[in-house]
A and B are shown apart, each in its own frame.
Chain A
Amino acid sequence: MKKYIYYPGCSLERNASAYNDSTLAIAEPLGMEYQEVDDWNCCGAVEFIAVDKMQAYALTTRNLALAEQQLSNGEQMVAPCSACFLNLSKCDAYLTASPDLAGKINQALAAGGMHYTPGRVHTRHLLDVIVNDVGYDAIAEKVKKPLYDLRIAPYYGCLIVRPGFLDKFDDPEYPTSLDNLMRTLGGTVVDFPMKAHCCGGHMTQISDEIALNLINNLLKNAADYGADVIATICPMCQLNLDAYQKDVNKALGTNYNIPILYFTQLIGLAMGLSADELGFGKEIIDAAPALAKIGVKPPKKARKARPSKEALPMPTMPEEE
């Protein structure tokens, strides 16, 4: 068993719980053991740095400091979310490059009785670890139900390949590691020229028009090449392409119906795990037809409607404290 420190991040706790479930479900068969960072906090996403530089770096570094305390034998830290991966690796790279910044951040951490040694905790993205540490051959040995007939568009998004603050494990503009991984699982990889383009990030919150256009470009590209599913490696990409797909259809008169699945879910299916174990049923665009194509039963517990069927409780302004 190879040991890693695990930083799930806020998205995997709830909105991307399918990513968390499937990541944990395939860990043991792939010979990986995770120890979660105890009491980790938000990585800051792309928002914190837009408001306060010193706080943003202190926030991210608290996680690195917690991980440093848990190191026993030079383990590396794994982050499945691209934004968390980017923030943690970038923060470590900048602290290492700038003793001035590191000094100030450690002065802030000291107010909470903490300290981080720049360079001590090396953060990598889950895709990097799976293709380079576990490796294609070891994965191929575990494939019991190859994904023959499933046409997969491998989607990388931005932050795991660009700019590569610590490691450059794949090409920044035309990466291939996820393509190869999907082929290892027996899947048919379709051409997807936009595979490293942006999902729109937080633009869905700021400008519908810009965001829906960016999302549409990606969906159109995948649809044009006949993809049954898009394989993703990031909760933000999943959310934008999945939860806003109906909005794109409404706003732009399109008719997409492409499930957006985590690459860990596809690895799990190929290893013969059930849809339930892999968090299926949480996607907004139903994956059942794609699952049927490869002879997998849809999840049992999916689509459990909540008691209030009409609407969320009408939102109210949270009280200011």
Chain B
Amino acid sequence: MTVDASLKEVSSSAATVPRRTFLQEVIEDTPGSDPRFEMCIQCGTCGGSCPSGPDMEYSPRRIFAMIEANMREEVLKANTFWYCVSCYYCMARCPQEVHITDLMYTLKRKAIREGYCRESSASDAPDFSEYFVDAVLKYGRSFELGLATRYHLRHHPLGAVKMATGMGLDMLRRGRMDLTPRRIKNLDQLQAIMAKAEEIGRVEREQGGIR
């Protein structure tokens, strides 16, 4: 299908999009062809395999049950997906081949967009992701010192001191940290692509009734 045709297909249905269930919304907002979220049989293998399981308010299995039950606010305020370390154990073991790790990313994006992440017990985590993104949009590459500095000063002033005297100093002494960012050559090109991608994503959500 061409790009225009695929966009048209989305927009022709836009005028009549009915209110989505929470499950439909997360399915449509997840990349890949089919994340198989509706295939969960509540076996609990994912939660049992998760290294962060004990620290999560709700296990991945429970999150699936809550999504099915349309408990949108409770889900989006949870710390579950912020404590996901992307280890893919759950996905490797799930008997239904549900793309669980991708769900965690989708919930992160929704919680940020809708502001629920501020009410989560892991409310620092979104800033770390957002500051990382800011640096990459600005330079094309990640910038560890700038990111750590901005993040720690906002959330862990003590962490910033630790950075400056402990591990950060160790890293700097061994030439493992840049004091200034590195930029790619064709930054304009990257930024044009990013601006367009942001717009396409926004239109896709608006037309698909995805919050």
Contact = CB atoms under 8 A, between A and B. Distances in A.
Interface of B is mostly: helix
A173 B88 CA distance: 10
Contact of B122 (A39, A162, A206): A206
Given A112-B189, A312-B163, A99 B1 contact: yes
A50 B164 contact: no
A41 B138 contact: no
B31 to A, nearest CB: 5
B193 A162 contact: no
A50 B112 contact: yes
A42 B141 contact: yes
Interface of A is mostly: loop
Interface in A15-49: 15-17, 39-42, 44-49
Interface in B114-137: 122, 124-126, 128-130, 132-133, 136
Interface string A228-254: 000000000000000110110000000
B85 A198 contact: yes
A101 B32 contact: yes
Contacts of B48: none
Interface in A207-227: 207, 210, 214
Interface stretch (A52-60, A123-131, A133-141, A182-190): A52-60
Interface string B164-187: 111111111111111100101110
Interface in B88-125: 88-89, 91-92, 101, 105-106, 108-109, 112, 122, 124-125
A53 B201 contact: yes
Interface stretch (B12-20, B39-47, B57-65, B142-150): B142-150
Nearest to A306: B173
A284 B136 contact: no
A201 B164 CA distance: 21
Interface string A292-320: 00000000001111100011111111100
Contacts of A51: 108-109, 112, 129-130, 133
A52 B90 CA distance: 23
B196 A111 contact: yes
B69 interface: no
A313 B88 CA distance: 38
Contact of A202 (B128, B174, B192): B128
Given A98-B31, A312-B169, A210 B186 contact: no
Contacts of A316: 149, 153
Contact of A42 (B142, B152, B204): B142
26 contacts: A10-B142, A14-B144, A15-B177, A41-B184, A48-B129, A49-B109, A51-B129, A57-B197, A58-B193, A59-B194, A62-B193, A94-B31, A103-B7, A104-B3, A104-B7, A107-B3, A163-B92, A172-B92, A197-B87, A198-B87, A207-B55, A214-B85, A246-B167, A310-B165, A315-B145, A316-B149
Interface of B: 1-3, 5-7, 29, 31-33, 51-52, 55, 82-83, 85-89, 91-92, 101, 105-106, 108-109, 112, 122, 124-126, 128-130, 132-133, 136, 138, 140-142, 144-146, 148-153, 160, 163-179, 182, 184-186, 189-190, 192-198, 200-201, 204
Interface of A: 10, 13-17, 39-42, 44-55, 57-59, 62, 93-94, 97-101, 103-114, 158-159, 162-163, 172-173, 197-198, 200-203, 205-207, 210, 214, 243-244, 246-247, 281-284, 302-306, 310-318, 321
